[in-house]
Amino acid sequence: MISVIGLIVLIVMVFGGFAFTGGSIGAVLHALPHEMLIIGGAAAGATLVGNDIAGIKAMGAGFGTIVKGPKYKKADYSAAIFLTARLMKMFRNDGPVAVEPHIEDPKSSSIFADYPVFQKDPVFLHLLTDSMRLLVVSTGTLSPHAVEEVIDTAIETHHTAAMKPVESLQIMSDALPALGIVAAVLGVIKTMASIAEPPAVLGAMIGSALVGTFLGVLLSYGIVGPCAARLKAVLEADGEIYLVVRRVIVASLKGQPQPLVIEAARTAISPANQPSFSEIFDGLRTAK
């Protein structure tokens, strides 16, 4: 929602400030549809050239992510610690046979049912259950460092794929000022072809051409570029919860006592979402 408010402030301040200082907003609005057709159409075409269907869909979904913001809240990070710690404790105390039904069918698991927020995140589920499956089938022969490397690779692979829309938006942002110049040059060519017209007509035509440059720069640095930055921030914030899973599993495999395992995961969370020491350990006492 804050992104939508920012967009409204941007438009009001730019066009309102122009009108407040005596500019003719009508002249800008008259040229805006034609310039937007050229610049927006060129940007859309270039995006289609540089992406496949999956990439285009990911960009579309990215705009929804920008508006909604991070999907995980502070309480969800505590839940991630509790869930992973419970599974690892069961694996350590009761053995692979006890934990296997939970990781093979999370939707029917009584443990996963206590943390329904993660049922909507297949990446989280696959990361946790696949890592646990690796422990189950290894019969205790895996080193913590080998498991850590596998989990890091899985997280990195997901992160690289998740960032593709950010890269596409940033490329579009970088291209928009040049596309604005293309639109402006076309307007100048049109003006030169009408050089016999009166100065008032030529002035209006040149003004329309300059709107193209203005629009390209505004779209790049005022809208698309900030959208790319916001999307990156949201994706990185959501990706932080996967590091919680990694920390709990690896610390547990190293034989650390549970308080140290939990603290290793808790302190890895950014301050905005980091639960307090007491919140985590009080939650552990009440966890089933």
- Each residue of 255-273: pLDDT tens digit? 888 888 888 888 888 998 8
The arithmetic mean of pLDDT across residues 4-18, rounded, is: 89
pLDDT of 191 higher than 60: yes
Q: What is the pLDDT of residue 117?
A: 92
Q: What is the pLDDT of residue 2?
A: 81
Q: Distance between CA atoms of 124 and 116, rounded to whole angstroms?
A: 12
Q: What is the pLDDT of residue 286?
A: 61
Q: What is the pLDDT of residue 230?
A: 94
pLDDT of 288 higher than 60: no
Tell me the per-residue pLDDT of 158-181, one tens digit each, with 9 for 90 and over: 999 999 999 999 999 999 999 999
Residue 175: which of 66, 46, 85 has the closest Cα? 46
pLDDT of 55 higher than 80: yes
The C-alpha torsion from 78 through 130 and 89 to 72, rounded to 10°, is 0
For residue 23, what pLDDT band results from cuts at 50, 70 and 90?
confident
Residue 279: which of 26, 82, 20 has the closest Cα? 82
Q: Distance between CA atoms of 77 and 85, rounded to whole angstroms?
A: 12
Among the listed ranges 14-18, 153-157, 250-254, 278-282, which one has the minimum average pLDDT value?
278-282
DSSP 74-93: HHHHHHHHHHHHHHHHHHHH
Residue 268: which of 251, 285, 287, 283 has the closest Cα? 251
pLDDT of 279 higher than 60: yes
Q: In whole numbers, what is the pLDDT of the chain averaged over residues?
A: 89
Among the listed ranges 66-70, 137-141, 198-202, 227-231, which one has the minimum average pLDDT value?
137-141
For residue 139, what pLDDT band results from cuts at 50, 70 and 90?
low
pLDDT of 221 higher than 80: yes
pLDDT of 285 higher than 70: no
CA–chain centroid gap for 49, Å, is 23
Q: What is the pLDDT of residue 224?
A: 94
For residue 137, what pLDDT band results from cuts at 50, 70 and 90?
confident
Enter the tokens of residue 127: 């990361």
Among the listed ranges 17-31, 92-106, 218-232, which one has the minimum average pLDDT value?
17-31
